[in-house]
Structure 1
Amino acid sequence: MTDQERAAQRQVQADVAALAGAIERMAGDLAIGEEPSGFVVALESGSRD
């Protein structure tokens, strides 16, 4: 493997790691954003019982 190929491989690995980090942050944001609505739904369904 040449130095240029190794550099390209490292760049791909860095890009994949950055993408995985972005996905993880978005998933965390989504979970935080959905929790209040889930809480309200739980309260509403509990009040009907």
Structure 2
Amino acid sequence: MDGVQAELTRVPFADLSTYRLPDGVSDEAAVMLADILPIAYEVGVLNGPPGKR
């Protein structure tokens, strides 16, 4: 699975790849962790220019 943005989705083996956030994590921080941070990492680090890593 490359990724998905949906209200509901079926994720094979989700019990091995998802983590429950602690109660103190705000909605804004959860969005940052789940959406913005991984996209920035993939675009900036994994697909960035070679030699800049």
TM class by shorter chain equals 0.3 to 0.5
Q: Which has the higher contact order (CA 8 A, sep 6+)?
A: 2
Q: Structure 1 or 2: larger helix share?
A: 1
